[in-house]
Amino acid sequence: MNDLRSEFHQQLAEIQSGIALMSAGVTELVPRATEILLTMDLEGAEYMILGDDEYDTRALELEERCFRVIALQAPVAIDLRSVISAIKIIADVERSADLCVNICKAARRIYGHDLDPHLRGVLQKIGDQAQVLFKEATEAYLNLDGVRAAALHDMDAYLDDLHRQLIQVIFESHAAGHIDLQVAVQLAVVARFYERIGDHAVNVGDRTRYIINGWLPDRPYAESDNDPPRVVAVTDPGDT
């Protein structure tokens, strides 16, 4: 088969490596965004926001290639699954790059406000975990490794826990008067961004499994996609 359609398979391989490269880039963007947020690095934030255009262009170009393959090569079976999944994975990766940019924009908005160590510690943790998820998703897709892809759901459960924990710490920090309401809201949004990056990584993992053996999730989408964060507010600091 390879001999018959070598050019076609070359095209498929190029699409896969193109996406892997983009995804590896995002794996680097996530910790960079966390660093920018925690060190209030305005210059770094600006640089990253400008750099996002490149990801958008690459995503469009890769999508275009997928369309061309479908139109001209009429792929079937695993080839069809990989092209269809590629189109969806491109969107997940591109969206994750946007989320990293959003974190940088939030960093600009809270510039000059001090964050207490506990808050910073949890932010670092959630950033690390989001990066680990994206790294696993990238490498699962790169090596078409179904086992690693399947592990992403459990890793995402921990990220969701950290998300809830971060929201809690934001409440506490605000109640203790360390951060004002504006910063608290920005940080809650940042927490959501990290949680979303994790969800995109899980999607990449799911689609990788679909490429390998046509696996589909029991539910069309991970439930964490639509559920609001389950957070119990700290007792209202009304008495203070």
| 231: nearest Cα among 202, 196, 191 | 191
- How far apart CA 23 and CA 163 sit, in angstroms, is 23
CB-nearer residue toward other proteins: 123 or 222: 123
Tokens of 30: 């996530």
Instruction: Report the residue from 14, 28, 64, 180 that binds other proteins according to the rule CB under 8 A.
Output: 28
Instruction: Report the residue from 5, 38, 52, 70 that binds other proteins according to the rule CB under 8 A.
Output: 38
| 27: contact with other proteins by CB under 8 A | yes
Number of residues that bind other proteins (CB under 8 A): 29
Site string for other proteins, 86-125 (x = CB under 8 A): ------------------------------xxxxxxx-xx
Q: Computed from CA positions of residues 178, 183, 184, 189, in that sequence, does the dihedral angle turn out positive or negative?
A: negative
| 143: contact with other proteins by CB under 8 A | yes
CB-nearer residue toward other proteins: 39 or 182: 39
Long-range residue pairs from 37-42, CB within 8 A, at least 24 positions apart, any chain: 37/103, 37/104, 37/106, 37/107, 37/123, 37/127, 37/190, 38/115, 38/120, 38/123, 38/124, 40/107, 40/110, 40/111, 40/112, 41/107, 42/107, 42/108, 42/111
CB-nearer residue toward other proteins: 70 or 142: 142
- Nearest distance from C-beta of residue 41 to other proteins, angstroms: 12
CB 140 within 8 A of CB 125: no
CB-nearer residue toward other proteins: 117 or 228: 117
In the complex, which residues of this chain contact other proteins (CB under 8 A)? 17, 20-21, 23-25, 27-28, 30-32, 35, 38, 116-122, 124-125, 128, 131, 135, 138-139, 142-143
